[in-house]
Structure 1
Amino acid sequence: MKLNVSCLFAALLLVSGAAFAADKPIAKVNGAAISAAVNEALIDEQVQQGAQVNDELKKAARDELIRREVLAQDAHKQGLDKKSEVAARMELARQAVLVGYYVDQWIKTHPISDDKLKAEYDRRITGMKDMEYKARHILVEKEDDAKAIITKLQTGAKFEDLAKDSKDTGSKDNGGELGWSLPQNYVQPFADALRKLEKGKFTTVPVQTQFGYHVIMLEDTRKPEPPKFEDVKGQLQQGMQQQALSQFVAEMVSKAKVE
């Protein structure tokens, strides 16, 4: 079994021996103990990447640590740990692990309450004032081509048939259909034109965006159905947790004496 060992973990092996000397070792290499704690950390890293804990994984982890300890010892003999670029990367690795655990502990001790999550959910739902639009469009390179399409539509041509010449490969084979979407999901000129249209109508003036010239047809509108709280609770929690963490870090940095 081949382990997917991160460069970060590999760098930490260069400095792990002394830190875990008190743990019961899983092996000794030239008298140097390989800590059970380091072994568990490696196994945990593999589990987070989708591996299953079994005898094969445990053996692979032990074998990997032995190989790396052999290489780490030789690296020390050659003085590689004294090289500035190696020392700098080792320090970055040490900081990354320490900060990672610090952040994990902070999040565990500063959870976002259900009341705050529900309040944020209600705020966002209240803000969903815009309608959803079901539209079609035809995208062409030149304004004159868009004008010609509008003329054909005005004389009875079917939008779906004309859409076959659209530059938008994602919608041309579906009659130019874009499906249901909020206008803010489109670029500004497109969204503005869409909001002004009546159901069943198309733009009588080409709409220019950075993609070219559009002829847009509005098929229908509807009030968007908000997602259920339970369906978005996890996403809300993650976002609010990250926002709270960012604010906390910013406050810590502002209080620090930086010269």
Structure 2
Amino acid sequence: MLKYTARVAVLSIALSAGGYAMAESHSEAPGPNTVVATVNGTEITLGQMIIARSQLPPQYQQLPPDVLFSGVMDQLIQQQVLADSLEADPVRVTIALENERRSLLAGEVINTIVEGALTEEAIEQVYNDLVVSVGPAKEFNASHILVATEDEANAVLARIDAGESFEDLAREVSTDMGSGANGGSLGWFGQGMMVAPFEEAVMSLDAGAMSAPVQTQFGWHIIVLNDTREQEAPSLEDVREELENEVRNNAIESRLVELMDAADVVRPEEGAFDPSILSNLDLIAE
């Protein structure tokens, strides 16, 4: 049904491409409740048309205003004619409308929250909290040789101690084929980018030092810390989009916590429903 409704919208626009004479202008200024057409006594309003136009695909919104006006009106008229052909509203439609109303109202509240919260001062505060106060991030440049067992790792250490090249051994024995082909080099990385045991070993080394065998879920590593550096903090403009998202999310979360604390919410007891019941569309098939 949804696919058919969308098709009706497109068909209406296409059929109206030639346009037709616009109705005479109203003596009063038009508003959202201004009636533009009726179908079997049901009013179609200007506000409904404005919403319908805003939901059209972008390519249709670029059509001339007269084409859009007649096309959108035809779309709503056709939809109302189809809707009137039903003897009663199907249960699933009634439920879907309830959900849609709830979602739209929640969206309006969220928009209001965001509009009030998204100020330059709030963005600067988040930038100071998350970027400036933390200071420059430290980055590491390391190489490793990965093998399957501790015995193999100790054997690699022995060969290095005997004078063999770390880079050559990485190419020969490392099971990490990507870094192994580059002499074990992992390049630059920041904190949180490696698994915890590996990162802890790297952070305990001085530049130029090599670790004892380190075990992770990938196997056993021999690690060399090549160098460290401090990453320059990004400017506010560089991370503006991320900061705005943080302000939005913080404001929404804060307000939602307030509303949830004040709301009288009753949930079903544990086990009251079989979770798989949500896939039973037969319950709303009437």
Q: Shared fold by TM > 0.5? A: yes
Query: Aligned partners of 1:58 and 1:67: how far apart in 2?
Result: 14
Structure 1 141/179 Cα, relative in aligned 2: closer, same or farther at 3 Å? same
Q: CA deviation at 1:192?
A: 0.9
What's 2:141 paired with?
134
2:93 to 78, 81, 86: 86
Structure 1 141/78 Cα, relative in aligned 2: closer, same or farther at 3 Å? farther
2:54 to 44, 54, 67: 44
Write the deviation string for residues 170-216 of structure 1: whole angstroms up to 9, x where unpaired.
5344333322222332221111100111222222x221112222222
Query: Aligned partners of 2:52 and 2:71: how far apart in 1?
Result: 11
Query: Aligned partners of 2:248 and 2:158: how far apart in 1?
Result: 54
TM-score, reference length from structure 1 = 0.72
Structure 1 102/206 Cα, relative in aligned 2: closer, same or farther at 3 Å? same
1:188 to 191, 196, 212: 196
Between 234-243 and 129-138, the greater mean CA deviation after superposition: 129-138
Query: Aligned partners of 2:247 and 2:111: how far apart in 1?
Result: 15
AA partner of residue 123 (structure 1): D
Q: CA deviation at 1:160?
A: 3.3
Map 1:223-242 → 2, pairs under 5 A: 223-242=230-249
Structure 1 174/41 Cα, relative in aligned 2: closer, same or farther at 3 Å? farther
In the alignment, is residue 171 of structure 1 matched against residue 179 of structure 2? yes
**Alignment length (residue pairs):** 237
- Larger Rg computed on CA atoms: 2
What's 1:12 paired with?
none
In the alignment, is residue 101 of structure 1 matched against residue 111 of structure 2? no
1:135 alignment partner, SS class? strand
Q: CA deviation at 1:222?
A: 1.1
2:140 alignment partner, SS class? strand
AA partner of residue 22 (structure 1): N
Contact 2:113–2:251 (Cα < 8 Å) also in 1 = no
Contact 1:42–1:61 (Cα < 8 Å) also in 2 = no
Write the deviation string for residues 113-163 of structure 1: whole angstroms up to 9, x where unpaired.
42x433332333332365211112233333333333333333333333333
2:117 to 96, 110, 113: 110
What is the RMSD of the two structures over their aligned residues, measured on CA atoms? 3.6
Map 1:143-182 → 2, pairs under 5 A: 143-164=150-171, 165-182=173-190
Contact 2:39–2:80 (Cα < 8 Å) also in 1 = no
Query: Aligned partners of 1:59 and 1:148: how far apart in 2?
Result: 78
In the alignment, is residue 54 of structure 1 matched against residue 65 of structure 2? no
1:223 alignment partner, SS class? strand
Query: Aligned partners of 1:226 and 1:141: how far apart in 2?
Result: 38
Unaligned runs of at least 5 residues, structure 1: 7-19
Contact 1:21–1:33 (Cα < 8 Å) also in 2 = no
